[in-house]
Amino acid sequence: MPTYVAVFALVLAYVALVAAYVALRTLAKLRRATTIIARGTRGPDGQMSLVELTERNSARTEVVAEEIADLRAMVADGLHAGPPKPVEGRQGALENLALVRYDAFGEMSGRLSFSLALLDGKGDGVTISAIAGSSDTRVYAKGVADGKGEHELTPEEQQAVSSALSRRRPLLGRKAS
C-alpha cells in the first residue's frame, strides 16, 4: 500500500511539474510578446505590426490550450504516467522525459532516490534529483542545454538525460550502473 501511495505522489508531482513548466514557458512568451507590442508597429527595423502579433499570439494560445487539455485528460484518466503526446508546433514543450531510480547509499534500499530529466526537443531543460538518506532527503536541480549539464551531472542524471534524448518510453528507467 505505501508503494501505491508513493507512486501516486510521484505521478501527481510529475503532473504538477509539467503544469508549472508549461505555465512558466507561456509566461516568458507573453512577456516577450508584450515587449514587442510596446516597441510599436512595423518600421524600418522590421518589427511586427500589432495585427501580426495578435495572429501569432492567437496561434500560441491555441497550442497552450491543447497542452492544458492534455494535462486535464491525464488527470481525468487516473494520472497515467506517460507524458503528453508530442504535437508539431509546440516549440519548447516537454517532449523528452526520463526517470532513473536508484539507491544512493548502502544503508537505504528500495530505490528511493531518483533523477528526473525534463527536456524539450532541442535537449534543453532541467534535471531534478532527490537523494534519500536515512534521516533526510535532499533535492537538486541542474539546467541542461543541448543535452549537456550546465553543471557537472552525476552518472544517474546523465543516464536520465541520455534516456530522455533517446526518447525511450516508458518513463521509468532502470537502476544506474
Return per-residue pLDDT of the chain as tens, 177 residues: 778 888 888 999 999 999 999 999 999 988 887 776 666 555 555 666 666 767 888 888 998 888 888 888 877 775 555 555 555 555 667 788 888 988 887 766 777 889 999 988 888 899 999 988 878 888 999 999 888 888 899 999 999 999 888 864 444 444 454
pLDDT of residue 15: 92
Q: What integer pLDDT is reported at residue 24 of this predicted model? A: 93
pLDDT (0 to 100) of residue 104: 81
Task: Output the pLDDT for position 168.
Answer: 44
What is the grid cell recorded at 137? 532527503
What CA–CA distance (Å, rounded) separates 143 from 141? 7
Burial of 97 (0-12, 13-18, 19+ CB in 10 A): buried
d(CA 125, CA 143): 6
Output the pLDDT for position 82.
53
pLDDT at 111: 79
pLDDT at residue 13 in the model:
92
Grid coordinates given for 134: 536515512
Question: For the CA atoms of the chain, what is the radius of gyration?
Answer: 19
Task: Compute the distance between CA of residue 168 and CA of residue 61 in angstroms, rounded to an integer.
Answer: 29
- Show the cell assigned to 149: 549539464
133 torsion bin: left (phi>0), alpha (psi -120 to 50), beta (else) = beta
C-alpha cell at 168: 525511450
Q: How far is CA 71 from CA 66, 79, 101, 135, 148, in A?
A: 9, 9, 24, 34, 28
